[in-house]
């Protein structure tokens, strides 16, 4: 089939999801192993073609549920449109990509061909999916500075120490628990639950538990930047 006006094949529009979660101390992306050519046995972002009866966000939510059985995303936002003519072999395919986040306490049951892969060591991604995944990581890192997007990574209740681990994994460098609590509290993002966590095996004082005051995305400080410690800069 060709376009009646130009004689060119119809443009294919797909949607892709960079689904991120902090797991086992690192920021990971959900990928599935392709079974067919092109790029058979390489790792791909979940997604598929946009249907005529749906918008792009409805499409990506449907495909996450149908193809990789992920329904519990805490945040979805459009990342970018990728339209380079040569981005995939064969007919031209334009992709609308999304950043999706899953809270750290959830463990979705995945198909056998799907796995959480570390963004620091991606295993041979298909097409341009590595650049899309890294762009999603960079978007998340930036937004951790000036929005309350941390709510989408965290469980409903957490200690400051646990939250520090999430931020550190997402940002790629160690952050101070004291500074993190001060910054987030100053912006009114955290509220105490009045409860404490059980001491660990080493004992010690029970740690206070907190939650995010709001689970709706909001800009909290448009000029903020979470900088790495001085000894981490330039690495």
Percent of the chain topping pLDDT 70: 91
Query: Which domains are present in the chain?
Result: 12-144 (3.90.79.10), 147-232 (1.10.10.10)
Distances 120 to 27, 93, 125, 166 between C-alpha atoms, Å? 8, 27, 13, 15
Which of these, 121, 234, 102, lies nearest to 166 by C-alpha position?
A: 102
Phi, psi of 195 (to 5 degrees): -110, 165
Tell me which H or E stretch contains 97: strand 93-101
189-232 per-position pLDDT tens digit = 999 999 998 776 665 688 999 999 999 999 999 888 887 766 55
45-86 per-position pLDDT tens digit = 999 999 999 999 999 999 888 877 777 899 999 999 999 999
């Amino acid at each position: 089939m060709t376009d009646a006006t130009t004689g060119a094949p119809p443009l294919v529009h797909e949607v892709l999801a960079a689904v991120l979660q902090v797991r086992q101390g690192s920021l990971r992306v959900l990928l599935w192993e392709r079974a067919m050519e092109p790029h058979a046995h390489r790792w791909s972002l979940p997604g598929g073609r946009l249907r005529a009866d749906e918008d792009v966000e409805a499409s990506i939510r449907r495909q996450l549920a149908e193809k990789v059985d992920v329904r519990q995303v805490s945040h979805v936002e459009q990342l970018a449109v990728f339209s380079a003519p040569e981005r995939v072999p064969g007919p031209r395919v334009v992709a609308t990509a999304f950043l999706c986040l899953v809270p750290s306490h959830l463990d979705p049951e995945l198909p056998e061909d799907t796995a959480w892969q570390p963004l620091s060591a991606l295993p041979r991604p298909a097409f341009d999916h590595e650049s899309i995944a890294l762009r999603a990581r960079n978007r998340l890192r930036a937004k951790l500075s000036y929005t309350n997007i941390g709510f989408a990574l965290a469980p409903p209740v957490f200690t400051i120490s646990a939250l520090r681990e999430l931020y550190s994994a997402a940002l790629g460098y160690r952050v101070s628990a004291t500074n993190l609590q001060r910054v987030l509290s100053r912006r009114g993002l955290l509220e105490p639950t009045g409860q404490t966590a059980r001491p660990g095996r080493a004992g010690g004082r029970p740690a206070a538990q907190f939650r995010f005051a709001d689970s709706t995305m909001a800009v909290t400080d448009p000029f903020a930047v979470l900088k790495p410690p001085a000894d981490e800069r330039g690495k």
